[in-house]
Each structure stands twice: as C-alpha cells, then as structure tokens.
C-alpha cells in the first residue's frame, strides 16, 4: 500500500498517450493529481504535462509515484518496464501494467519490490498467459494479479463501430484506427 502523500506531489505517469492513455491521463487529472504523459512523438493533452521520444523519457519518469503502462507492443517498447526505468521513479513507487506482458522484465520487477524501489504492482498482462501456477508473482503479496481484463469488448458498441467504418469506406471516407504496419500498431 502506498503511504499517503499530498495531492500536489503525487505524480502519476501514463506511458502511452493513444486513445486509452489520453483518456486515463485526463481521468486521473480530474482528481487534481499532477499527471504526465509519454508518447513516441509529440502530443498535446489538455491539463497533462507531455513528454515525447527517448530524449525525454528520463524526465518523464523522474519522481513519478504511480506509473501506468498503456503502450503498444513494438520492438521499441519490449522490456521497457525494467530496472533502469524503475530506478528513475520516486522511491516507493507503484506500477500498473495493463498493456502487454512483453513490456515487463519480470525479474526486474521482483528486484525492485525487494529493494523497496517499488512498493507494489498491479499486473493485468504477463509474458506467459495464463500465468503458470508456480510463477513467483503468485507468491508476492505486493503484486495484485488481474485476469487480463483491463478493457472489455462491448458487443453492441463494437458492432456499431465496425458498421460505421464499413459505411465510411463505402463512401470513400477515411476511417480512424488504421494500423500503421511500420509502427507496429
């Protein structure tokens, strides 16, 4: 459990400012907490201090008390949640990974918990799913495990979205959410 902190110093960092990350960042900021967002390229999100690119990664992490990972899985983001990343956070920070298991170096998380650099983690995704019964995460009381359910697919909304995109394509209009194969998402 995190110790109480003054709201103005309880910085939350959101890795990934896509649709989900920007939504999470705005929702957390609505509670009056300082929020930082990180993305590969420059983005503006009202009320959020934004950082972009490798050159700004350490500045983004510096002093963050809760790190929320919502990055896409690409070759550039594999193993991003590692000992070096954890060392840049505020001592006693908390990790939430609801993106991809491939982002997390599992041994580094256990080491950061053992040293006190991190006090706890909530993990919704893992390198191997389902998480094997003998995995050390099951025995670590500072890790909360959820069953890969951070985002539910709502059938009616999904069908309406697909139908709307098909109609837009029929009319020759551009559609959102197109995968950029060069970026990997």
Which among 15, 38, 39, 14 has a CA at the least distance from the CA of 26? 14
- Residue 148 catalytic? yes
Marked catalytic residue, from 100, 142, 155, 171: 100
Active-site residue flag, 100: yes
- Catalytic residue selected from 73, 135, 142, 148: 148
CA distances in angstroms from 160 to 7, 48, 151, listed in the order given: 40, 31, 18
Report the Cα 87 to chain-centroid distance in Å: 17
- Closest alpha carbon to 97 in 115, 116, 111, 82: 82
Task: Count other C-beta atoms under 10 Å from residue 91's C-beta.
Answer: 13
Catalytic residues: 100, 148
């Amino acid at each position: 459990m995190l110790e109480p902190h003054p709201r103005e110093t309880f910085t939350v960092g959101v890795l990934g400012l896509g649709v989900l990350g920007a939504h999470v960042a705005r929702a957390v900021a609505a509670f009056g907490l300082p929020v930082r967002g990180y993305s590969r390229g420059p983005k503006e999100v009202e009320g959020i201090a934004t950082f972009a690119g490798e050159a700004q990664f350490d500045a983004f992490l510096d002093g963050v008390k809760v790190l929320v990972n919502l990055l896409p899985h690409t070759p550039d983001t594999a193993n991003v949640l590692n000992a070096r990343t954890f060392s840049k956070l505020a001592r006693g920070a908390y990790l939430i990974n609801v993106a991809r298991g491939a982002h997390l170096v599992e041994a580094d998380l256990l080491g950061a918990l053992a040293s006190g650099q991190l006090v706890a983690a909530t993990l919704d995704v893992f390198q191997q799913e389902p998480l094997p019964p003998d995995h050390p995460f099951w025995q670590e009381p500072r890790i909360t495990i959820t069953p890969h359910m951070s985002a539910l697919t709502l059938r009616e909304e999904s069908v309406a979205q697909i139908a709307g995109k098909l109609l837009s394509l029929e009319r020759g209009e551009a559609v959102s959410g197109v995968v950029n194969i060069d970026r990997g998402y």
